[in-house]
Amino acid sequence: MTPPRRLLLVNGPNLNLLGTREPDVYGTSTLADVERITTDAAASLGFEVRAVQSNHEGVLVDAIHAAREDCAGIVINPAGLTHTSVVLRDALSAVALPVAEVHISDVSHREPFRQHSYVADVAIVHVVGEGVAGYASATRRLIDVLTGHAEG
């Protein structure tokens, strides 16, 4: 059986406001731009993307659980849930799919509470502070791991 050539793109709370929310921190690109950037990067390597964004933790957990049926990996920006959600971390761990964690801003240079990630230990790729271009970088790096062109 051929493994799926699909990634799940997960964007957490408030990322639906990209483009208008704190443009000095997050830029002016929108969530639609993020989804296009990710889809284009994946398509260039023969993968497709299913995208989900929610302000509700349970919706994200359900999408992650469903990914084990037809996805090879997960690209996730957990947003504020990065720093608070053991539940999201446990869902990622439970599905046992390779994970790429991406953050638009450099969280290591922001408020102290943003400097801890519950997702970090389950992710094999970490891209931080590259703006929305970081989604393409995370996607390509994850696919490199999935296709055996890089180690996770």
Q: Which of 65, 103, 135, 149 is catalytic?
A: 103
Q: Which of 26, 116, 135, 149 is catalytic?
A: 26
CA–CA distance, 119 with 80 (Å, rounded to integer) = 11
| 26 in active site | yes
Task: Determine if residue 110 is labeled as part of a ligand binding site.
Answer: no
| 118 in active site | no
Contact 20, 114 (CB under 8 A): no
Task: Determine if residue 141 is labeled as part of a ligand binding site.
Answer: no
CA–CA distance, 38 with 32 (Å, rounded to integer) = 10
Q: Is 19 left (phi over 0), alpha (psi -120 to 50) or beta?
A: left
Task: Determine if residue 16 is labeled as part of a ligand binding site.
Answer: no
Task: Determine if residue 36 is labeled as part of a ligand binding site.
Answer: no
CA–CA distance, 52 with 109 (Å, rounded to integer) = 27
Task: Determine if residue 62 is labeled as part of a ligand binding site.
Answer: no
Task: Determine if residue 105 is labeled as part of a ligand binding site.
Answer: yes
- Indicate which residues carry an active-site annotation: 26, 103
Q: Which residues are annotated as a binding site?
A: 77, 83, 90, 104-105, 114
Instruction: State the binding site for substrate.
Output: 77, 83, 90, 104-105, 114
